[in-house]
Every structure is written in structure tokens, then in C-alpha cells.
Amino acid sequence: MAAENVRRAGFETLVELRTADAADVLRESPDATWDLVLLDAERPQYPGYWPDLVRTLRPGGLIAADNAISHEAEMAPFRATVDADPDAVSALDATGAGLLLVTRR
């Protein structure tokens, strides 16, 4: 479906699609690789992603985690992880399911 969406949008030369476990991709990514990471899958796993998210996010990059409102209890451990990092800054986009936006100083 994603490949078809990319094709219809005419972005085939711009988009590289990877089918892989997100944790593996993060672990194997070099430092400062990503401008934007969208988390929209296994919420209980997000706190474990944090060290690799911090390491692989480019300066000025953004982490966006969906379902911060619709699945508030499941998101609580990740929000606590973010809040415990003195270099993390977060804001909640309270539209829809709730998008937690996180960047680092």
C-alpha cells in the first residue's frame, strides 16, 4: 500500500521504502541519521527505543508519537522517559488521537 501511494504521488525517486523491524532499523542507524521519526506501532516498546532515538535523531530533528491521548496509559512510560531527559522538550498536539512531539535541545 505504501509503495503504491509513493508511486501515485510520483515520489519513487525520492522515497526509499524499507520493510524491517523499527527497533532493528534504529539500532543499525548511524548517529544523527533522522530528521523525523514517527512512532505509530508498539507503544510499550517506545521507552526501549529512547537511547537509539536520541542517538540517531539529527540536531533539530523531531520525534512524533501518535496516540498520546487515545492510549494515554500505554503512552505513560514513554512520556515519563521523555520527561526524565533534561535535554528533551515535548509538546502535545491535542488533535485527533494526540500526537506527542519531542525534540532535544
Ligand X SMILES: C[S@@+](CC[C@H](N)C(=O)[O-])C[C@H]1O[C@@H](n2cnc3c(N)ncnc32)[C@H](O)[C@@H]1O
* Residues found near ligand X in the complex (CB under 6 A): 21-23, 40-42
User: 16 is written with which cell numbers?
Assistant: 526509499
Supply φ then ψ for residue 88, to 5 degrees.
Answer: -90, 140
Supply the minimum distance, in Å, between the C-beta of residue 38 and ligand X.
Answer: 6
Nearer to ligand X, 32 or 38 (CB): 38
Nearer to ligand X, 18 or 105 (CB): 18
For 37, which DSSP code? Answer: E
Q: How far apart are CA 94 and CA 10, in angstroms?
A: 32
Nearer to ligand X, 44 or 89 (CB): 44
